[in-house]
Amino acid sequence: MYINITDSETASNKGSSAGLVHYLEKENRLDREKAPEHWFSNGQNIIQAYEVRNALDNNIAKLGKIDAKFFLLNISPSQKEIRHLKDLYGEEGAKEQLKVYAQTVMDAYARNFKRPGIESGKDLLWFGKLENHRYYNHHDPEVKQGIRKRGESKEGDQMHVQVIVSRKDATNKIKLSPMNNSRGSNAEHSKKVGQFDRSAFKSSGERLFDEKFSFERELSETFRYANIQKKGNLQDRMYLQAEKIKQQEYRKKGALSQWQKTKKMVKKTYLNAMPKTTYLNMLLKPTREDYGFVPNGKSEKKKKRKISQGLGL
């Protein structure tokens, strides 16, 4: 499950939402023979594009010219997840279930702010749009290599949901920004703008899908796995490898559901089994990819330069 938050995809989010709303209507314009995909929000399944634009553009009280007025959420299940939905509900049923799931994601989005009065998607002003295709753009390797042309449809199941959510809550009184990096170190600032942990939000969206649709997700398919591989230290990655091996053992036994109940024990067992002073501890010392606290008080920048020079870089 890929969940991403951006300022906007094709137009600035500091002015009217008209450009983005128009862009997200592209499939309705390209294939007029099929029934149009309507906008949806909080239980409403037939909302017109002009209603979306008007609602968003009029929900900007006390926002300045350079303030973001809305944000774009991309909720994209993998092809494996889409097949799972279609196996359970059929072609049309899968679309409806993905819309329902998007509403639970927006509930999680609201709760992630940890703001009084912002408890669910109903406290937000947002509109979702289901899309059935994705298209190659100039960033894709296939386009750069001349294999595909910009604008061509991508292969396979590409069903996903785009959500435009207002910067202001449904009452037009509270400012909410998912781009805020506050984690509570400044209590007054966090109280004013709200806290938003994007990693926690993405993980919660993944977990909601698994629980709602009884989807058995491989560890290597999780956001946590990808995040640790990209940003984690060596100890995190080694624990992850131990967890992956254990999950594979449960899968061979046909007891993957039991794995969900016992996986928390893996980390505890793994960490307790680690010797206090071993070669592993040497490996866990800061490297040029994993800088930690420098005991002698040297700045991190100087430490990096010294190591780089020693390696001849």
Inter-CA distances, 240 with 155, 222, 237, 270, 305, Å: 32, 11, 5, 10, 31
Whole-model pTM: value is: 0.75
Place of tokens 């753009």: 137
Residues 145 and 303: their CA atoms lie apart, in Å, by 40
Residues 252 and 259: their CA atoms lie apart, in Å, by 11
What's the pLDDT tens digit per position in 94-109?
Answer: 999 999 999 999 999 9
Residue-range definition of the domain harbouring residue 194 = 2-209
Where a domain ends, among 209, 242, 269? 209
Where a domain ends, among 147, 179, 209? 209
Task: Choose among 134, 162, 130, 161: nearest CA to 148.
Answer: 134
Q: Is the model more confident about 33 or about 260?
A: 33
Task: Kindly state whether residues 202 and 267 are assigned to the same domain.
Answer: no
What's the pLDDT tens digit per position in 222-277?
Answer: 888 888 888 888 888 887 788 778 777 777 666 555 555 555 555 455 445 544 44
Domain count, the chain: 2
Task: Kindly state whether residues 7 and 135 are assigned to the same domain.
Answer: yes
Task: Kindly state whether residues 254 and 200 are assigned to the same domain.
Answer: no
What's the pLDDT tens digit per position in 145-194?
Answer: 888 988 888 888 899 999 999 999 999 999 999 988 655 555 566 556 56
Task: Kindly state whether residues 254 and 129 are assigned to the same domain.
Answer: no
Angle, nearest 10°, between helix axes 223-231 and 234-252?
150
Where a domain ends, among 158, 183, 209? 209
Task: Kindly state whether residues 26 and 128 are assigned to the same domain.
Answer: yes
Task: Kindly state whether residues 134 and 266 are assigned to the same domain.
Answer: no
Task: Kindly state whether residues 194 and 224 are assigned to the same domain.
Answer: no
Task: Kindly state whether residues 158 and 80 are assigned to the same domain.
Answer: yes
Task: Kindly state whether residues 36 and 119 are assigned to the same domain.
Answer: yes
Task: Kindly state whether residues 246 and 297 are assigned to the same domain.
Answer: yes
Tell me, what amino acid is at 185?
S
Report DSSP state, residue 222: S
Task: Kindly state whether residues 221 and 179 are assigned to the same domain.
Answer: no
Report the percent of the chain where pLDDT is more than 70. 74
List the helix and strand counts (H, then E) for the chain: 12, 6
Task: Kindly state whether residues 34 and 108 are assigned to the same domain.
Answer: yes
- CATH number of the CATH domain containing 11: 3.30.930
